[in-house]
Homo-oligomer: A and B are copies of this chain.
Amino acid sequence: MGKRPLILVSNDDGYKAQGINVLIDILAEFGDVIAVAPHTGRSGKGCAITSETPLKVTKVSERPGVEIYSCTGTPCDCVKLACHAITPRRPDLVVGGINHGDNSAVNAHYSGTMGVVFEGCMKDIPSIAFSHCSHSSEIDFTPTYPIIRNIVAEVLKRGLPKGSCLNVNFPNVTEYAGVRICRQAMGSWINEWEAHEHPRGGKWWWLTGEFQTNETDCDADRIALEHNFVTITPTKIDVTDYTLMEDMKNWNL
């Protein structure tokens, strides 16, 4: 691979998902692409890593400027293993997605797509996550193309501050109200479980739920999405609460 930017791609829906394959095609316009993605869906894996079993990684396809690998690990594992054993040099950009399902609000913490990007960011590589509000496995991603191109071009040109990455979410519409720079919406999941009787006795619990928020302002990513904006949430890996840090100096500890 030559002097074009080297772009590492991963996701949490697996290397066969429509979203990552669309993304690979767009990114190949900007540089050489290496995709290392889970062999199957790993949604909701957040920043999970695999320490108790070893992993396998297999090249599944190759064409000029694009190599695609399948990995038995989590999204974070994929980025870690790619950087250690697959990419010929440090990538210039790490990209996660396009996720089938949005990762706005506190869902950033549960998101495997954001796991990709947190991991890239922890390695001091500019990193961008793209997610789409539709959970369908077949989406018309065409309206996202020009926005993805703009964001990728800007990040390749400007870089990102050390310790920060981007969480981009697309509403499930074909005409966007615009692109909006947002903060992470706060809120909670409620009614999170459904009980089912197991055929051999006892209850089994399925995760489900509704997201509840008091946010109403389009500065909050979740709300802007509901108003058909494409949202970009600049995201930090430093989770220190500096205000509380000062306050606690008066505690009796």
A249 CB within 8 Å of chain B? yes
Interchain CB contact under 8 A, B154 and A251 = yes
Contact of A207 among B47, B77, B188, B251 (CB under 8 A): B77
Instruction: Report chain B residues within 8 Å CB of A186.
Output: 163, 237-238
Interchain CB contact under 8 A, A47 and B110 = yes
Q: Mark A103-122, 1 if CB is under 8 A from B, else 0.
A: 00010111000010010001
Give min CB distance, A236 to chain B, whole Å. 4
Q: Mark A202-231, 1 if CB is under 8 A from B, else 0.
A: 111111000000000000000000000000
A134 CB within 8 Å of chain B? no
Interchain CB contact under 8 A, B183 and A57 = no
Q: Mark A175-203, 1 if CB is under 8 A from B, else 0.
A: 00001011110101101110110100011
Instruction: Report chain B residues within 8 Å CB of A204.
Output: 54-56
Give min CB distance, A105 to chain B, whole Å. 10
Interchain CB contact under 8 A, B241 and A239 = no
A44 CB within 8 Å of chain B? yes
Central interface residue in A44, A50, A179, by most chain B CB within 10 Å = A44
Q: Mark A39-68, 1 if CB is under 8 A from B, else 0.
A: 001011111111110111100000000000
Interchain CB contact under 8 A, A179 and B253 = yes
Which A residues have a C-beta under 8 Å from some C-beta of B?
A: 41, 43-52, 54-57, 74, 76-77, 80-81, 84-85, 106, 108-110, 115, 118, 122-124, 147, 150-151, 154, 158, 160-161, 163-164, 179, 181-184, 186, 188-189, 191-193, 195-196, 198, 202-207, 232-245, 248-249, 251-253
Interchain CB contact under 8 A, B163 and A49 = no
Interchain CB contact under 8 A, A193 and B110 = no
Interchain CB contact under 8 A, B161 and A241 = yes
Interchain CB contact under 8 A, B196 and A54 = yes
Closest to A253 in B: B179
Contact of A51 among B44, B118, B198 (CB under 8 A): B44
Closest to A252 in B: B154
Instruction: Report chain B residues within 8 Å CB of A55.
Output: 204-207
Instruction: Report chain B residues within 8 Å CB of A118.
Output: 109
